[in-house]
A and B are shown apart, each in its own frame.
Chain A
Amino acid sequence: MHSVEKVFQEFCKGDSRLTTVKNITDQKLFEVVTHLGIKNQNLTVVLEEVLINAQEHGDGHPSLHYKVDGNLLVLVISDSGVGIHQKIPENLRLSDTRGKSSSSIIRLSLEEGITGTGTVGRGMGLYYLSRFASENQASIFVASDQGAVIQVSSQFYERRLTDDLGCTLVILETTLKDAGI
Chain B
Amino acid sequence: MIIRLVEIAGEFCTRRNMPALAEIKKILVEKLEKQEPVEISTAGVKILTPSFIDELIPDLINQYGEEKVTSLISFNPPLEGFLKEQISRGVKNRKPR
Contact = CB atoms under 8 A, between A and B. Distances in A.
B46 A52 contact: no
A49 B15 CA distance: 9
A29 B54 CA distance: 21
B46 A45 contact: no
B49 A48 contact: yes
Nearest to A119: B16
A52 B17 CA distance: 11
Interface size class of B (residues with CB under 8 A): 20 to 34
Contact of A42 (B12, B81, B89, B94): B81
Contacts, number: 54
B80 interface: yes
Interface in B1-36: 11-12, 14-15
Interface residues of A, number: 19
Prevailing SS type, chain A contact patch: helix
A155 interface: no
A113 interface: yes
Interface in B41-57: 46-51, 54
Interface of B: 11-12, 14-15, 46-51, 54, 58, 80-83, 86, 89-90, 93-94
Interface of A: 26-27, 29-30, 41-42, 44-46, 48-49, 52, 112-113, 120-121, 124, 128, 131
Given A27-B46, A30-B46, A121-B94, 10 more contacts: A30-B12, A41-B80, A41-B81, A45-B49, A45-B81, A45-B82, A49-B51, A120-B94, A121-B90, A124-B54
